[in-house]
A and B are shown apart, each in its own frame.
Chain A
Amino acid sequence: MEIPYTYKPRPDTGLYNAKVGIWLFLASEIMLFGALFSSYILLRVQAPMGQWPTVAGAWPTGLLNIPIGTFNTAVLITSSVTVVLAWAALKMNNFKAFRRYMVVTLVCAFGFLGIKSYEYNEKFTHYELRLKSGEAYTGHIEVNGKHAGFWDFGSIYNLARLEKDQVAEIKFTADPPKPKPGEKHAEGAAHTHEVKTIKREDIAKLDAFILRNHTFFGIYFVITALHGLHVLGGALVLGYFAFPGASMWKRNPEQFANRIEVAGLFWHFVDLVWIFLFPVVYLL
């Protein structure tokens, strides 16, 4: 028994099965990310005022690293181009070029994830501090003379944790105040990284830039992590096709090219999600 149209297109629809399948799957993915983006909008428009110390409005903005985000966008778009070139190379019967482009795609994919994990770590070590006197800052902390390591979840502190660990005081380095638009950095004061010692009993709230801190970080981490999982999944599939799965090229070149096309469609979708994600989360 053989399933018809596994790689030959069906005459009346003009499509092979996997292509119909992947478009349907992408439709469901659009609904998944669509729901998350809608949640982002709803959470943002109904966010209560005064939830974030350094922002006058209701929703914290400008907390993400825009240059790095821009660079990552470029990395992902590059990979989207190279995956098409890889497919085109197969269609032109040039397996060597195919593999070269696939390697570039994979380097971009894992580069994206590496950069993203660096960005995540920046957030895990960045803190919001509110004092009982009403002053509020963002900055970095030092507890018992130690800084947190890379992805060091054990060193994330909040007030409850300080109480539990009986930490009497922490060292805090506040971020320099943001220059207003059109204004150069304020001379002098802003550049000194003054280390303050803060007593535990003066603290009203202390927490890193992690999910529980604010719904902004919650939705940022959930969407970008889900997107990251899609990047990882896509990269694993592309990696399989580039190396062990490439043996199919000799047996059935048409079906192999179809596989690359279908995986490529998924990869473009992952790219597209990021192209929406970047302006919505970083810039707006």
Chain B
Amino acid sequence: MSTASSHSHTAAHEHAVDHHHEPGFWQSYIFSTDHKVIGIQYGLTSLAFLMFGFILVMCMRFQLAYPGKPIPVFGPLLEAILGDTAKGGIMSGDLYNSFGAMHGTIMVFLAIVPLAFGAFGNYVTPLQIGAPDMAFPRLNMASYHLYFWGGVLMLASFFVPGGSAKSGWTSYSPLATIAEFEKPFNGQTMWLIGMVILITSSLLGAVNFITTIIQLRARGMSWMRLPFFVWAQFVTGFLLLLAFPPLEAAGVLQLADNLFHTSFFLPNGLVVSGQQLAVSGGGSPLLWQHLFWFLGHPEVYVLILPAMGVVSEIIANNTRKPLWGYKSMVYATMCIGFLSFIVWAHHMYLTGMGTKVSTFFQTTTMMISIPSVMILTALFVSLWGGSIRFNTPMLFALAFLPMFGIGGLTGLPLGFNASDIYLHDSYYVIGHFHYVVAPGTIFALLAGVYFWFPKMTGRYMNETLGKIHFWFSLIGMNLVFAPMFIQGMKGMSRRMADGGTTYFGADDIAVKLNISITHAGILLGVAQIPFIINLFMSIYNGKKVEGDNPWSATTLDWATPTPPPHGNFASEPVVYRGPYEYSVPGSKSDFLPQDKKP
């Protein structure tokens, strides 16, 4: 008997070896179809883009604080790489515009969305629903590679004659078309082609995520047992799926405007430098704005929903309590998803589209703040009465709440038609959305890095370095973005390359604040050094985890071996309960994992 069983075991083993030869370097790290490898690829690439986008904006910030002075460290580098546009290490107006457009594009489309959706979504979602992989693993690989090459194309656009796109991350027509009308193949054109590739990547990703969540949930994982993170990714997937195609359409139309000199977004009688432009005219610049913001507003929720998902997981785990109002959070997320499609024109109050239209969008904008506040309130109330573990991921997650709160509340005056007419296009707007995205989303994503790092590598990240990173980042972020509200309320426009000196005079407080913001920005940059050291050192030297579930968490991602192998679970997981069964009265341990038999 025992001989027979050992024999069959060996045979099975040999069989497995036959078909499962070790994949080489390219197969396992570059062209992998494993969702975890793809997630890490997304993560590292998007963190690199995050750093690049930050360097771009630091060059701009130096120019704002000290207009016309050579940039230290990066100035000579810019001159060597880009030539005359950074002559003597001094940033020209053109270069400022180009960096501004690329900072926005890189941060939104190449850093935050891929980090939130591509990296965390890819790594965590299949684990949390108990799936062996994504529904379409090869499509998943294709999404990453499209994203990567779209990003490379964007970066390459710095080197075409005339430099990269300069018309802002919103690429408004007619500016985007007439900026270099004589040379159809310019940075703007490359921007558009890059965007079409990135959009395709996001679409494939969204199809994959939604299918995975609908089809590959483990046995017993009903919809209301999904962790909130998965819900957030699910709704985000729909936003990407339905909001991005109109931008793709708009991108194709603007590409035609640039390359074939059509007039989709060019009105009649457009005069450029004293000469009537040689196009047929008859188009509409407003059409571009409608198509752009139809994506642009859901995009804001693409940035914030996964962050809320990450924060919810970490808060439930570290307060050792169930999330307060899980179901209402889920319904609120769905409301946000729906409403985010009908608020887009609150970016366009100043375009003269009419007061009736403005009133409609003002109303829907106020409506969408309700579900957002619901989620935030539920998270705040979840803290009530918990014995909170203040580890690094929890600190970042806690900081997310007030930071996102400030970002959200300062958005209300922008949602009102009357007050927006004054605040539009000022530094107030910059302060508002950076509060949402930088100390909001980025903090949540950093919390996620600290939280899931032990699962990815089997080692903790260093807590001391983590806390240094957290406190200096928190101080730096607020010193950078809070003064922008003052500048904006004083009326400083967001597009002035000299930091408003010519408009206010150099002695004005709004202009002087530029200097303190720039210094705070440097502090913020320096504060990231402990993080980078921590991230790479901890892979080899971090404290080893004690088991597969170091945070004593309930969700399925912690039921896998560490790090999870190809195929994730040792045996098919079965789910018996909701996602956040912490401190259940009458239970021996203070947490009941979802796959624990009752």
Q: Is A122 at the interface (CB under 8 A from chain B)?
A: no
Q: Which residues on B sit within 8 Å (CB–CB) of A31? A: 241-246
Q: Which of B111-119, B258-266, B372-380 contacts A (4 or more CB under 8 A)?
A: B258-266
Q: Is B413 at the interface (CB under 8 A from chain A)?
A: no
Q: Is B278 at the interface (CB under 8 A from chain A)?
A: yes
Check B249 against A215 for contact (C-beta < 8 Å): no
Interface centre among A17, A29, A226 (most CB of B within 10 A): A17
Instruction: Give CA–CA (A222, B290) in the complex, Å.
Output: 19
CB contacts under 8 Å to A, within B122-173, are 131-137
A21 and B294 in contact, given A42-B284, A211-B260 (Cβ under 8 angstroms): no
Check A212 against B261 for contact (C-beta < 8 Å): yes
Give the residue name and chain of the B residue nearest to A47 (CB). Answer: B282
Q: Is B208 at the interface (CB under 8 A from chain A)?
A: yes
Interface membership of chain A positions 157-171, coded 1 if the CB is closer than 8 angstroms to chain B and 0 otherwise: 000100000000000
Q: Is A24 at the interface (CB under 8 A from chain B)?
A: yes
CB contacts under 8 Å to B, within A1-37, are 1-5, 10, 13, 15-17, 20-21, 24-25, 27-29, 31-36
Least CB distance from A74 to B in Å reads 28
Instruction: Give CA–CA (A136, B244) in the complex, Å.
Output: 42
Q: Is B207 at the interface (CB under 8 A from chain A)?
A: yes
Instruction: Give CA–CA (A156, B136) in the complex, Å.
Output: 46
Instruction: Give CA–CA (A21, B211) in the complex, Å.
Output: 6
Q: Is B498 at the interface (CB under 8 A from chain A)?
A: no
Least CB distance from B28 to A in Å reads 14
Least CB distance from B550 to A in Å reads 25
Q: Is A48 at the interface (CB under 8 A from chain B)?
A: yes
Q: Is B250 at the interface (CB under 8 A from chain A)?
A: yes
How many residue pairs between the two chains, A and B, have CB atoms under 8 Å in the bound complex?
A: 133
Check A20 against B214 for contact (C-beta < 8 Å): yes
Least CB distance from B35 to A in Å reads 11
Q: Which residues on B sit within 8 Å (CB–CB) of A13? A: 214-215
A48 and B281 in contact, given A17-B215, A21-B207, A215-B263 (Cβ under 8 angstroms): yes
Q: Is A61 at the interface (CB under 8 A from chain B)?
A: no
Q: Is B280 at the interface (CB under 8 A from chain A)?
A: yes
Q: Which residues on A sit within 8 Å (CB–CB) of B268? A: 48
Q: Is A218 at the interface (CB under 8 A from chain B)?
A: yes
Check A211 against B211 for contact (C-beta < 8 Å): no
Check B280 against A214 for contact (C-beta < 8 Å): yes
Q: Which residues on B sit within 8 Å (CB–CB) of A32? A: 245-246, 248-249
Q: Is B430 at the interface (CB under 8 A from chain A)?
A: no
Q: Which residues on B sit within 8 Å (CB–CB) of A212? A: 260-263, 279-280
Check B567 against A1 for contact (C-beta < 8 Å): yes
Least CB distance from B110 to A in Å reads 21
Least CB distance from A35 to B in Å reads 4
Instruction: Give CA–CA (A210, B281) in the complex, Å.
Output: 14
CB contacts under 8 Å to B, within A174-228, are 210-215, 218-219, 222, 226
Instruction: Give CA–CA (A135, B312) in the complex, Å.
Output: 70
Check B135 against A3 for contact (C-beta < 8 Å): yes
Check B280 against A222 for contact (C-beta < 8 Å): no
Least CB distance from A9 to B in Å reads 9
Q: Which residues on A sit within 8 Å (CB–CB) of B207? A: 21, 24-25, 28
Check A5 against B206 for contact (C-beta < 8 Å): no
Q: Which residues on A sit within 8 Å (CB–CB) of B206? A: 24, 28
Q: Is B108 at the interface (CB under 8 A from chain A)?
A: no
Check A43 against B214 for contact (C-beta < 8 Å): no
Check A4 against B242 for contact (C-beta < 8 Å): no
Instruction: Give CA–CA (A51, B248) in the complex, Å.
Output: 28
Q: Is A46 at the interface (CB under 8 A from chain B)?
A: yes
Instruction: Give CA–CA (A27, B253) in the complex, Å.
Output: 21
Least CB distance from A271 to B in Å reads 19
Q: Which residues on A sit within 8 Å (CB–CB) of B263? A: 212, 215, 218
A20 and B280 in contact, given A27-B241, A35-B249, A222-B253 (Cβ under 8 angstroms): no
Instruction: Give CA–CA (A32, B244) in the complex, Å.
Output: 8
Least CB distance from B344 to A in Å reads 12
CB contacts under 8 Å to A, within B184-204, are 203
Q: Is B479 at the interface (CB under 8 A from chain A)?
A: no
Give the residue name and chain of the B residue nearest to A9 (CB). Answer: B215
Check B242 against A20 for contact (C-beta < 8 Å): no
Q: Which residues on B sit within 8 Å (CB–CB) of A17? A: 135-136, 211, 215-216
Least CB distance from B385 to A in Å reads 37
Check B132 against A15 for contact (C-beta < 8 Å): no
Per DSSP, chain A at the interface is helix
Q: Is B283 at the interface (CB under 8 A from chain A)?
A: yes
Q: Is B438 at the interface (CB under 8 A from chain A)?
A: no
Q: Is B515 at the interface (CB under 8 A from chain A)?
A: no
Instruction: Give CA–CA (A210, B259) in the complex, Å.
Output: 13
Check A1 against B242 for contact (C-beta < 8 Å): no
Q: Is A39 at the interface (CB under 8 A from chain B)?
A: yes
Tell me how many residues of B have a C-beta within 8 Å of chain A. Answer: 47
Check A5 against B246 for contact (C-beta < 8 Å): no
Check B203 against A28 for contact (C-beta < 8 Å): yes
Q: Which residues on A sit within 8 Å (CB–CB) of B287? A: 39, 42-43
**Could you say which of A28, A29, A42, A211 contacts B256, with CB atoms under 8 Å apart?**
A211
A20 and B566 in contact, given A3-B132, A36-B249, A222-B253 (Cβ under 8 angstroms): no
**Could you say which of B211, B242, B261, B282 contacts A48, with CB atoms under 8 Å apart?**
B282
Q: Is B210 at the interface (CB under 8 A from chain A)?
A: yes
Q: Which residues on B sit within 8 Å (CB–CB) of A34? A: 245-246
Q: Which residues on B sit within 8 Å (CB–CB) of A27? A: 241-242
**Could you say which of A4, A20, A42, A47 contacts B210, with CB atoms under 8 Å apart?**
A20
Instruction: Give CA–CA (A3, B137) in the complex, Å.
Output: 9
Q: Which residues on B sit within 8 Å (CB–CB) of A46? A: 284
Give the residue name and chain of the A residue nearest to B290 (CB). Answer: A42
Q: Is B252 at the interface (CB under 8 A from chain A)?
A: yes
Q: Which residues on A sit within 8 Å (CB–CB) of B260? A: 210-212, 218
Instruction: Give CA–CA (A24, B204) in the complex, Å.
Output: 10
Interface membership of chain A positions 36-75, coded 1 if the CB is closer than 8 angstroms to chain B and 0 otherwise: 1001001100111001000000000000000000000000
Check B137 against A35 for contact (C-beta < 8 Å): no
Give the residue name and chain of the B residue nearest to A210 (CB). Answer: B260
**Could you say which of B264, B284, B566, B567 contacts A218, with CB atoms under 8 Å apart?**
B264
Q: Which residues on A sit within 8 Å (CB–CB) of B135? A: 3, 5, 17, 20-21
Instruction: Give CA–CA (A226, B250) in the complex, Å.
Output: 13
Instruction: Give CA–CA (A10, B221) in the complex, Å.
Output: 14
CB contacts under 8 Å to A, within B227-281, are 241-246, 248-250, 252-253, 256, 260-264, 268, 278-281
**Could you say which of B134, B136, B282 contacts A214, with CB atoms under 8 Å apart?**
B282
Check A51 against B282 for contact (C-beta < 8 Å): yes
Least CB distance from A278 to B in Å reads 19
Check A215 against B262 for contact (C-beta < 8 Å): yes
Instruction: Give CA–CA (A20, B210) in the complex, Å.
Output: 9
**Could you say which of B215, B248, B284 contacts A10, with CB atoms under 8 Å apart?**
B215
Check B136 against A21 for contact (C-beta < 8 Å): yes
Give the residue name and chain of the B residue nearest to A59 (CB). Answer: B282
Least CB distance from B90 to A in Å reads 39
A43 and B283 in contact, given A13-B214, A28-B241 (Cβ under 8 angstroms): yes
A24 and B216 in contact, given A32-B249, A43-B282 (Cβ under 8 angstroms): no
Q: Is B291 at the interface (CB under 8 A from chain A)?
A: yes
Known A28-B203, A218-B256, A218-B264; further 14 A-B contacts with Cβ < 8 A:
A1-B132, A4-B215, A21-B208, A27-B242, A28-B244, A31-B241, A31-B242, A39-B264, A42-B287, A43-B264, A160-B278, A211-B256, A215-B263, A215-B283
Chain B residues within 8 Å of A, Cβ to Cβ: 131-137, 203, 206-208, 210-211, 214-216, 241-246, 248-250, 252-253, 256, 260-264, 268, 278-284, 287, 290-291, 294, 566-567
CB-defined A-B contacts under 8 Å, sample of 6? A4-B132, A27-B242, A39-B249, A48-B268, A212-B262, A212-B263
The 9 closest A-B pairs by CB, nearest first: A1-B567, A35-B246, A32-B245, A218-B262, A35-B249, A31-B245, A212-B261, A17-B135, A211-B260
Chain A residues within 8 Å of B, Cβ to Cβ: 1-5, 10, 13, 15-17, 20-21, 24-25, 27-29, 31-36, 39, 42-43, 46-48, 51, 160, 210-215, 218-219, 222, 226
